[in-house]
Structure 1
């Protein structure tokens, strides 16, 4: 276009930025940045915001440098950096930027809440929401409420109380419950174990989609309502809604809980019938299902067909089943291969499991070597986390 002397406008630049960002090409993005400067688009808020967004996806260090050099920062630029730091897990830096903002829009509050929730800092996300409500200058929007409800669904009973208050906020303000907000409510109630309320919200929704159905199915499975999960899955199929990968994870986990081997096998085969490929969660479920039923040969055969190869979650499930079934011969087929994959900082439980298996198989020398390895590499099991509420705060 430049060689043909065709005028390049902001729309052309924005479209080009979107394309370059899609291909994650840092050198090309920097080259385009140079042209943006030469063409005089540095004062165009939309162009510069789009460029900053591109850097957060392609090269975050460049995004930080660009943000620091900006003489005037739009709300979009601040929100982009908050989201970028949150995506990298650095919610403390995101919160610092949030407090530095001269003016916070509803998108800013939503970005901060979503950042906390996506990083498992649910209590912090709820506290930011409370701060937003107290501020009264900005009212929550649909995206903010969905983020808050997502956090509530992971906080057990205290989350249920907070989720109900959000639901009350929606009703008091006479908000229409669209598919996104309705799905968030269904997901929250289902994860908190209130399947009847989740179903009531679901049935009142004017529009539903596969995400709504999946939220209900996974909630039922998570809380042990196996028959309900299966009924919902069949009902969804009859309605012509195609299940996705998450739907199959939910229904397979329900089969694991109830020990429904043949049903689980059928659902696992059904994944391919919907032109989907089994993911690691599906494999974990089916291996766990076969293993608990004592069908270790079937579990092993499934693992051997995995593409890409099995990760530590799958191997850990298989080895644990070998231990439960008191079958060291099956464990011995893979145990040395698994040892080569172990990482002390992440797989402490598997180290202990393998040590126990060596003892079970009367491999005393190997068991002793494992114990020495555990001590020398300072291997520790991942600690569990529990939650308790204290007045308005949630503590771990």
Structure 2
């Protein structure tokens, strides 16, 4: 078999292990290894996170004299960045020639390791940058919670006529805007204008990100317009609109949209049910909430902690504390502080200390003094309500001993999207 056929076999191998097997056979049969054989073998192995393997291939590269091949070294750098970033840093410093790809790899690597300052330093040091460079740095800021820096960098990118943000970057920055309240809405509208001016296709990712931005800010009409403009929608798009509408109290509209989604054979996911169950909680629709909860089984969806939390909240607020307690003791997951805290809130709402006492000991075992100050206070208030002053005083003394932080306005139930 000719060398070109060996290389083709490595390139088209069905798995990384198969590529390695063919590469090893080449060595055993003294078939000359060229840069393509090495490159395709490396490319197939870069996602394995196998440091010994990469080190072994690195030794082969050095032995065969390919350390000056920028493509091979870039592939090796990418592999090291996944398996051992310390090795990647050493290799980057030793590389005689660096490309935009290698710089971008290091920006992403520093971002993953939590060093956003160094990632920005690398970005600033780059001789030249491309769209991927800007996207990598913006993503780094987003992932590390540096919202203002991400928006500022995106603004600089958007006014550069030689750059065109890709759909991924636009979706990421819009998702960020959806979590930033009024400032995020203003920025989101500006980005929406940028999308229109530059005639971007409103694909499902970009459209859904716009829906999220508008829906979370309460601009439901704008979110609906975007939804109706999209040529293709999926369950994530539907869910974004349903959850946004439900969150702002438009219960009937959320139910209508959920029913329409079913008629169009779009299978709801776990977050769709979170949204519609939250709508039932806000409206006090106990029977309908039970129906949606049971419907999850029809779609093969196992309830998650936020679904159980919604049902506990739904029953609890309606005064059906026994039913809420039955959910807690029969759920397949361990009830967390959100679920149990919601139950305690309902007990306080309906002045029922006896029901609360069924879970108080369990709650006290899992309380975190730094995060759950509101729950400590809630338990103390329940004891006071029931006339158990000594127990209330014990809880308050415990709060002092453990230096419990009191948290205002904490919500026990939240549905992630």
Partner of residue 264, structure 1? 289
Is contact 1:49–1:76 with CA below 8 Å preserved after alignment?
A: no
Q: Deviations over 1:76-134 (max 9, x none)?
A: 45444544554566544544443344433322322333343345443332122112224
Residue 251 of structure 1 deviates from its aligned partner by 1.0
**TM-score, normalised relative to structure 2:** 0.81
Partner of residue 12, structure 2? none
Q: Which runs of 5+ in 2 are unaligned?
A: 1-20, 411-417
Q: Which runs of 5+ in 1 are unaligned?
A: 22-28, 56-61, 386-396
Partner of residue 51, structure 2? 30
Q: Does 1:191 align with 2:216?
A: yes
The within-5 A match list for 1:63-102 is 63-70=85-92, 71-72=94-95, 74-84=99-109, 86=111, 91-102=116-127
Is contact 2:247–2:279 with CA below 8 Å preserved after alignment?
A: yes
Distance 1:164 1:69, change over 3 A: same
The within-5 A match list for 1:141-160 is 141-160=166-185
How many Å separate the matches in 2 of 1:87 and 1:306?
A: 36
12, 15, 36: which one pairs with 2:41?
12
Residue 268 of structure 1 deviates from its aligned partner by 1.2
48, 73, 80: which one pairs with 1:52?
80
Is contact 1:224–1:254 with CA below 8 Å preserved after alignment?
A: yes
Is contact 2:54–2:76 with CA below 8 Å preserved after alignment?
A: no
Q: Deviations over 1:328-381 (max 9, x none)?
A: 111111111111111112212111112212222322222212111211221113
The within-5 A match list for 1:355-374 is 355-374=380-399
Distance 1:112 1:225, change over 3 A: farther
Is contact 1:122–1:154 with CA below 8 Å preserved after alignment?
A: no
Distance 1:382 1:47, change over 3 A: farther
Q: Deviations over 1:259-280 (max 9, x none)?
A: 1111111111112211111112
How many Å separate the matches in 2 of 1:68 and 1:292?
A: 59
The within-5 A match list for 1:334-345 is 334-345=359-370
The within-5 A match list for 1:252-331 is 252-331=277-356
Secondary structure, aligned partner of 1:39: helix
210, 218, 242: which one pairs with 2:267?
242
Is contact 1:152–1:160 with CA below 8 Å preserved after alignment?
A: yes
Is contact 1:256–1:288 with CA below 8 Å preserved after alignment?
A: yes
Is contact 1:67–1:77 with CA below 8 Å preserved after alignment?
A: no
How many Å separate the matches in 1 of 2:73 and 2:248?
A: 48
Partner of residue 15, structure 2? none
Residue 225 of structure 1 deviates from its aligned partner by 1.3
Q: Does 1:114 align with 2:124?
A: no
Secondary structure, aligned partner of 2:52: helix
Is contact 1:52–1:77 with CA below 8 Å preserved after alignment?
A: no
Partner of residue 207, structure 1? 232
Distance 1:295 1:49, change over 3 A: farther
How many Å separate the matches in 1 of 2:118 and 2:310?
A: 37
Distance 1:204 1:336, change over 3 A: same
How many Å separate the matches in 1 of 2:286 and 2:160?
A: 53
Distance 1:281 1:88, change over 3 A: farther
How many Å separate the matches in 2 of 1:322 and 1:113?
A: 46
Distance 1:369 1:153, change over 3 A: same
* Paired positions, count: 371
